[in-house]
Structure 1
Amino acid sequence: MMKSLLLACCLLFTGAVQAAQPDPALVKQVNAFVDGWHDDAAHARMVYFDKMAPDGVYIGTDRSELWQREAFRAWGRKYFEGKKAAWIFHATRRNVHVSDDGKLVWFDELLDTENMGHCMASGVLRKTAGGFEILHYQLSIAVPNEVADQVTGLIKAAEAKAAAKPATGS
């Protein structure tokens, strides 16, 4: 499954699946769907996870964060249950592209977030008879080039510290 999803993403970005000029009405639907998805997280509504395809993948900002939907739901439950908000993302720009057959939509977006500052993300949606579902979403923290060396230094130090920790367990 993961290989077929990666192949679909590669085909999208290499041009094997031609991108049609998106219909403004479709772009409006996509924006409403993705904005609604972000709003579900902002209001800690568990339906957030149901908007992902059963075989959908979410890639977070930590290198350990690569989940299929049910694993993502299990991990994220603690952020949704009994809270007013899980995480808050507001798109400030989104580019939408659609395959010629209209079955796949991909987008990239700039986000303002409440706890991580500026982020960037990209996603792939599948259009179904019931609407859209998220096949793939990847979130990254937008690091200004002026501080990239400092950030990569912090990452290297954190990874070295983690690697130096003795293994626990039996």
Structure 2
Amino acid sequence: MKQLILICGFLFSFMSAQAQTATGAAISDAALRQQVTQFLDEWHDDAAHANPRYFDKIALHGVYIGTDKSERWEREAFRAWAKPYFDAKKAWEFHAIKRNIAFSDDKSIIWFDEQLNTQMGICQASGVISVTPTGLQIQHYQLSLTVPNDLLDSIQKQISEFDAKHPVK
């Protein structure tokens, strides 16, 4: 019985050490934030240059939510939707103005929000990244247009009028 307990203890310790290595627990907070910043900047640059590796940074079942209420895609559907833009070598260009990054205690889950300079004006986005044995993977990303509060009533009226003419199916 003592041997079983020792073996279980050893296995638990080994698995914990492996999990810490895989999730980057040994990396400092500042280094992880820098790694995430570089990853996201490269991801945005991949889109700006219509580089197909853009989609490889999104997890297989990762979700991208665009600015239109109809825009919710898992990676492969998003790739199919964006194909004409990438084929034409003209996708979208986002540059981070500011970004906030946080993560779980074990550093396996990262969440962030960012303000972006885009062809649509200033946008905001938020996302969730997981740390995998092969690197960072975007699990969820949501892009939003920014609307000044003083304009909200008039824009909401336009949206309501549009929705009345184009009901959701």
Normalised TM-score (structure 2): 0.81
Q: Which structure carries more helix by proportion?
A: 2
Q: Deviations over 1:106-148 (max 9, x none)?
A: 000001102x101000000001122100000000001011111
Where in structure 1 are there 5+ consecutive unaligned residues?
Answer: 1-21
**SS of residue in 2 equivalent to 1:163:** coil
Deviation readout 1:22-56 (Å, 9 max, x if unpaired)? 71111000000001000000011111111100010
Partner residue of 2:87 out of 43, 60, 81:
81
RMSD after superposition: 1.5
2:94 and 2:153 map into 1 onto residues whose CA distance is 26
1:109 to 91, 99, 114: 114
- Does 2:162 match 1:158? yes
Determine which structure has more spread, i.e. the larger CA radius of gyration. Answer: 2
2: CA distance between counterparts of 1:72 and 1:82? 16
Find the partner of 1:23 among 23, 29, 35: 29
Q: How does 1:26-41 map to 2 (within 5 A)?
A: 26-41=32-47
Aligned residue for 2:149?
Answer: 145
How far apart, in 2, do the equivalents of 1:41 and 1:102 lie?
Answer: 26
Asked if 1:49 is matched to 2:55, the reply is: yes
Deviation per residue, 1:6-27 (Å, 9 max, x gap): xxxxxxxxxxxxxxxx711110
Give the letter aligned to residue 128 of structure 1.
T
CA distance in 1, matches of 2:137, 2:55: 10
The answer for the alignment partner of 1:133 in structure 2 is 137
CA deviation digits over 1:143-163, x for unaligned, max 9?
Answer: 011111111111111111113
Q: Percent identity?
A: 55
Residue identity opposite 1:102 in structure 2:
K
Task: Give the counterpart letter for 1:94 in structure 2.
Answer: R
Q: Which runs of 4+ in 1 moved over 6 A?
A: none
2:98 matched to 1:90? no
Aligned residues: 142
- Aligned residue type for 1:95: N
Q: Structure 1-normalised TM-score? A: 0.80
Separation in structure 2 between the aligned mates of residue 157 and residue 81 of structure 1, nearest angstrom: 35
C-alpha separation in 1, matches of 2:130 and 2:167: 39
Letter in 1 for 2:162: A
